Amino acid sequence: MRNTDKDIRVVVGMATCGISAGARPVLSAFVEEVSKRNLSNVSVVQTGCIGMCTLEPIVEIYAPDKEKVTYIHVDSEKAKRIVSEHLVNNRVVFEYTIGSENQQ
């Protein structure tokens, strides 16, 4: 995929901690949803440990000229909602973000 200034990166933590917490199906859900919706400006990539193992699976979204958004305890259903709300409609799903766990 060619990188441009418009590219949005979805980064899924795929270290041992993330995988054991269920990151594989999360990665698959993002890849499938992005493909299904033909979001050519979005790349889904994996990384190692993000450093907050107790919050895994963790997904970070990087968009040009915006602050990074960190989603925690992501599962396949949350991934689908993040694609439809955040990536398609540009609305952060705040209840899935870091910091939201203290408000429940």
Segment 17-52, tens digit of pLDDT: 999 999 999 999 999 999 999 999 999 999 999 889
Q: Considering the domain 8-103 in this protein, what is its CATH number?
A: 3.40.30.10
End-to-end CA distance of the chain: 39
CA separation for the pair 15, 53 (Å, rounded): 9
What residues contact residue 100 under an 8 Å CB cut-off, 6+ apart? 72, 94
Q: Where are the alpha helices (DSSP H) in the chain?
A: 16-21, 23-36, 76-82
pLDDT at 100: 73
Q: Where are the domains of the chain?
A: 8-103
Residue matched to tokens 């698959």: 28
Average pLDDT of the chain to the nearest whole number: 91
